[in-house]
């Protein structure tokens, strides 16, 4: 299977701490990099964790609060100074362009490099990106301002050929793609060989869901069902459940409930309030509901 | 003497490196903090180096290139979230407000906290800030866009009283302030005592000058004359003298020439191009002209 990873660049909530930068993550599938959110210092974290700024062509922005976007001007400037060509696609609330344009007006280096903004849909889920191997779907969550989560889902893989059978029947290379896509095979004498005799099941489809910032929102469950890895914010513990509700955030226990109910295989929690000196309590709270829970820590890489 | 220090928060040029954040410095005089420039990550550096974000009330911005301002939105947000009250004064090109306002529109926390922008004069030097102990003067330098340097100069200190004389003559406390400000003293019998018999010279006046980004510009010499500490950009070495000129930057040797000609006591160079893996060559180049040269390194504190 090709590599499918999520690297945490920042895991704080609004106030960064000595160990946590504001929210940002890199999804890497098959050596393609996708950035989710871009808090202040994202370009510094990318460099620190050995990820090439210039390889990012798609950025997904959940919402327009500063701790999710204030790294964008610096990142875009650095891309331009580094000689990046072509188009950088940013999927976000439509107002982002008006926020960024005044900051980038002094950049002379952007002649062959363009930023294209794609507005998100905050009413219903929508496929916003697709390539040969991946589909990204946005879905509304509920925060103080319009906010979306994202699911990164692999597309259906091809079937695996049974090598020995293919060799024995001397199936020409030109016919193999059709078989990998499910066709039966007809031998030169017209005999039909069933696809099931020639193939093994494809690799499983892997999926990653990212949900922040939001109150606990059960409506997202159908969209994120059965993901291999779920990142869900857990700004507070249950001790501050009322504050979580008031500020449109989630507690660690509530995040774990979403993981249970959506059938996630593994949960990462993050976006911790700076009042928690250590994430241990939040992790314990989540694990009491969903044992396979881990804390997002800057620099950590999760493999799907 | 009260403490007068400069702490380097960032020392890179446009591209940050693993060791250097973009330009930002804190001048601290008598426990008051003044920020100069605010590259991305400034709030993170302040925290790292133990300087309180909330204590900054004045920010001086040399020019509007991203590596000098992209830390402002995050810093201002963090101040507001931290409950800062009153006014934050920012001295900059008048366009800064239009760049920042769209980014801060989603902040609800700014009810008792206000940012006031003060436009700089890019034609001639001007006193832009004054309090009981300090005066800050801006002066134009020459970059691709309008840019100012800043001189932080202590005000004239009071004379020191000769304690033994004051005691011997039983000078009342209420008369001592006038003597410290230079007055003679009249004894109850009308005899005049010359001020020079009652006082010792005041502490010397200390000054710090900050010059970046700019070509070598000899017109600044009268404004920065005889400072105790001069920070001057040295983006390139003499090997890239032509590139320095073309991009409106200074070489290490040129920075040292300014230090010699202005009578500076000590020189810090910084804003190093990321192409220099180590600053050693730039330091050696500057020291060949002005031996008392040091490199700006993030976290370093210079005492005047």
- Give dist(CA B192, CA A103) in Å, integer: 65
Question: Are B47 and A77 a contacting pair at CB < 8 A?
Answer: no
- Listed by number, the residues of chain A in 264-283 with a beta carbon closer than 8 Å to a beta carbon of chain B are none
Shortest CA distance from A97: residue in chain B: B102
Of A135, A138, A146, A147, the residue nearest A233 (C-alpha) = A147
Which residue of the set A67, A213, A228, A298 is catalytic? A67
Q: Of A152, A144, A141, A143, give the one whose Cα is nearest residue A60.
A: A152
DSSP letters of chain A? Answer: ---EEEEEEE-B-SS--SS-PSSEEEEEETTEEEEE---TTHHHHHHHTT--GGGEEEEE-----HHHHTTHHHHHHHHHHTT--EEEEEEE-TTHHHHHHHHHTT----SSEEEEEEEPPSSS-EEEEE-SSEEEEEEE---SS--EEEEEEEPPPPPEE-HHHHHHTT--HHHHHHHHTT--EE-TTS-EE-HHHHEEPPPPPPEEEEE-S----GGGHHHHTT-SEEEEE--B-GGGHHHHHHTT--BHHHHHHHHHHHT-S-EEEE-B-TT-S-THHHHHHHHTT-SSEEE--TT-EEE-
Q: Specify the length of chain B in residues.
A: 304
Chain B nearest C-alpha distance from A40 (Å)? 6
**Chain B residues in contact with A17 (beta carbon < 8 A):** 47
Q: Please tell me the predicted confidence (pLDDT) of residue A209.
A: 98
Q: Out of A64, A65, A103, name the one closest to residue B66 (CB).
A: A103
Could A47 and B16 be called an inter-chain contact, meaning their C-beta atoms sit closer than 8 Å? yes
Q: Which residues of chain B have pLDDT under 70?
A: 108-110
Question: Which 37-66 residues of chain B touch chain A by CB within 8 A?
Answer: 40-41, 43-44, 47-48, 64-66
In chain B, which residue's Cα lies nearest the Cα of A63? B106
Q: Which residues of B touch A106 (CB under 8 A)?
A: 64-66, 145
pLDDT score for A290: 98
Closest residue, chain B, to A107 (C-alpha) = B65
Cβ–Cβ < 8 Å for B90, B118: yes
Of B66, B81, B106, the CB nearest to A145: B106
The answer to whether B106 contacts A40, with C-beta atoms less than 8 Å apart, is no
Kindly provide the ipTM of the predicted complex, given to two decimals.
0.90
d(CA A18, CA B295) in angstroms, rounded, equals 25
Q: Please, what are the domains in chain A?
A: 4-157+203-303 (3.60.15.10), 160-200 (no CATH)
Report the alpha-carbon distance of residue A23 to residue A69 in Å, rounded.
9
What global pTM score does this model have? Answer: 0.91
The pLDDT value given to residue B46: 98
Interface probe, candidates A94, A103, A108, A143, chain B, greatest B C-beta count within 10 A: A103
Chain B nearest CA to A66, separation (Å): 7
- B-chain CB neighbours of A48 within 8 Å are 18
Distance from CA of B64 to the nearest CA of A (A): 8
**Edge-to-edge strand order for the sheet containing B56-60?**
B113-119, B86-92, B56-60, B32-38, B24-29, B4-10, B301-303
Q: Where are the alpha helices (DSSP H) in chain B?
A: 42-48, 66-69, 72-81, 96-104, 163-168, 173-180, 195-198, 221-224, 241-246, 252-262, 280-287
Query: Do B66 and A47 make contact, defined as CB atoms within 8 angstroms?
Result: no
Q: Which of A 2-21 lie inside 8 A of B, CB atoms?
A: 14-18, 21
Q: Is B184 a catalytic residue?
A: no
Q: According to the model, what pLDDT value does residue B136 have?
A: 98
Q: Which of A65, A82, A98 sits opposite B102 (nearest CB)?
A: A98
> Is A124:A177 a contact under the CB 8 Å cutoff?
no
Q: In angstroms, what CA-CA distances link B10 with B14, B15, B68, B298?
A: 11, 11, 10, 5
The answer to whether B215 touches B245, Cβ cutoff 8 Å, is yes
Kindly determine whether residue A70 and residue B64, on different chains, have CB atoms separated by under 8 Å: no
CA distance B164 to B302: 35
- Dihedral sign for Cα A245, A247, A251, A254, please: positive
- Chain-centroid distance, C-alpha A171: 39
CB-based contact, B146 to chain A, within 8 Å: no
Instruction: Enumerate residue ranges in chain A where pLDDT < 70.
Output: 107-110
Report CB contact under 8 Å: A47, B82.
Answer: no
pLDDT tens readout for residues B91-128: 999 999 999 998 887 776 667 899 999 999 999 999 99
Residues 80-139 of B with CB under 8 A from A: 81-82, 98-99, 102-104, 106-107
Chain A residues near residue B98 by CB distance under 8 angstroms: 102
First-last CA distance in chain A: 10
Q: For chain A, say whether B70 makes contact (Cβ under 8 Å).
A: yes
Distance from CA of A78 to the nearest CA of B (A): 6
User: How many Å apart are CA B106 and CA B115, to the nearest integer?
Assistant: 15
pLDDT for B108 equals 63
Catalytic pick from B67, B213, B228, B298? B67
């Amino acid at each position: 299977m090709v590599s499918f990873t999520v690297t945490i660049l920042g895991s704080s909530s609004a106030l960064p701490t000595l160990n946590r930068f504001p929210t940002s993550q890199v999804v890497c599938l098959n050596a393609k990099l996708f950035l989710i959110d871009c808090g202040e210092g994202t370009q510094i974290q990318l460099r620190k964790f050995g990820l090439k700024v210039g390889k990012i062509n798609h950025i997904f922005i959940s919402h327009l609060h500063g701790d999710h976007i204030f790294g964008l001007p610096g990142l875009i400037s650095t891309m331009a100074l580094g000689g990046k060509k072509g188009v950088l696609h940013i999927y976000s609330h439509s107002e982002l362009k008006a926020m960024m344009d005044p900051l980038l007006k002094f950049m002379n280096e952007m002649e062959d490099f363009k930023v294209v903004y794609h507005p998100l849909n905050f009413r219903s889920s929508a496929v916003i990106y697709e390539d040969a191997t991946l589909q990204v779907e946005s879905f509304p969550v509920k925060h103080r301002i319009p906010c979306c989560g994202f699911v990164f889902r692999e597309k259906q893989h091809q079937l695996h050929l049974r090598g020995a059978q293919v060799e024995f029947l001397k199936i020409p290379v030109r016919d193999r793609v059709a078989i990998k896509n499910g066709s039966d095979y007809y031998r030169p004498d017209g005999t039909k060989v069933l696809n099931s005799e020639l193939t093994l099941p494809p690799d499983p489809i892997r999926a990653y869901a990212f949900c922040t910032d939001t109150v606990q929102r059960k409506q997202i469950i159908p969209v994120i069902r059965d993901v291999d890895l779920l990142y869900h914010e857990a700004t507070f513990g249950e001790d501050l459940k009322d504050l979580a509700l008031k500020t449109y955030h989630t507690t660690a226990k509530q995040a774990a409930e979403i993981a249970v109910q959506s059938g996630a295989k593994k949960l990462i929690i993050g976006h911790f309030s700076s009042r928690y000196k250590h994430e241990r309590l939040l992790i314990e709270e989540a694990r009491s509901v969903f044992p396979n829970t881990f804390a997002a820590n800057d620099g950590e890489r999760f493999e799907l």
